Amino acid sequence: MGSKGKVFAFEPELSNYQKTLENITLNHLNNIKLFNLAVGSETKQTQIFVNQDNDGGHALWDVGKHPFNKKSLNNQTMQNTQLSTLDNILSQSGNITNLKMIKIDTEGAELNVIKGAVNTINKYDVPYIICEINRFGLQQMGTNETELREFISSLGYETYLLVSNNSSNQLVKLPIGKYYQTSHVFNVLFTRLDFISQ
């Protein structure tokens, strides 16, 4: 992104927010603006569920419902947080001239994040949106991978699976109706640009 580029980062969970803030300061990363809030499709006060089993797995749904999260099941912990939209946040951030990429990893709230960013996506014609697909998390948020991909397709984006094999990265086109056969969480690239399908 060069010396003049900026990163807007969002972390609703307080401990992770403080650790990220410390790392930004220690590494003199003056081009990162960190927000202590959750991103979604509306603006309101809400709660996040703190994942006792995985400090990267906090979510807007009860994380104790996931079969891997035994500690979270037995010790439910929540934190109050502000929820806002990218449209709202970035419209108040002033002199943004272009936006190259949006990276979304929200344990199932990805569709809400995109719905709350439609104006931003269209205004800046964002070329790349990297998105985690957590099928269990999407289900807990009342949606699914199909609905997410169909919505992003309606905005003019195609879906590519991000595949890493032995230190090489590949893009594999996933047309509507085609799915990656896995029980794991994975990442996709949404783009309006054309790539050769692998």
In a domain, 51, yes or no: yes
Here the CATH number for the domain that contains residue 172 is: 3.40.50
Confidence band for 133, pLDDT divided at 50, 70 and 90: very high
Split into its structural domains, the chain has a count of 1
Range of the domain at 98: 7-191
Nearest CA to 66 out of 118, 150, 134, 165 is that of 134
Residue 109, pLDDT > 90, answer yes
In a domain, 152, yes or no: yes
Mean pLDDT, rounded, for 169-185: 92
Confidence band for 198, pLDDT divided at 50, 70 and 90: very low
- Please give the angle made by the CA atoms of 118, 94 and 46, to the nearest 5 degrees: 55
Confidence band for 93, pLDDT divided at 50, 70 and 90: confident
In a domain, 198, yes or no: no
In a domain, 60, yes or no: yes
E strand or H helix at 162: strand 158-165
